[in-house]
Amino acid sequence: MTTHFTLADLEAAINFWRAHSPSRGEELELCPEAAALAEPYAFMIIKKRTELPLDVLDSDARAALETWRAQVQRA
């Protein structure tokens, strides 16, 4: 099992979720999964990090990332 994730992982996972559940409403609200990944994505950009341990993610972000990984492995 992978214990880290990369900025590229987050970007790919966000794009996956946006494709499966496009933004809604006039304000173009992100789906819950993409929204959960947006905060750690922004953190990594601001802090110029390319990789972080999985344990820094909250449960929603971790679930979104793990579901994305499972879908990618099936393809």
Q: How does pLDDT run across 33-71, given as a tens digit for each residue?
A: 999 999 999 999 999 999 999 999 999 999 999 999 999
Scanning the structure block, which residue is given the tokens 């993610």? 57
Is 0.85 topped by the overall pTM?
yes
The answer to whether residues 40 and 11 touch, using CB atoms and an 8 Å cutoff, is: no
Could you give the C-alpha distances from 64 to 11, 26, 48, 68, in angstroms and in order? 12, 24, 22, 6
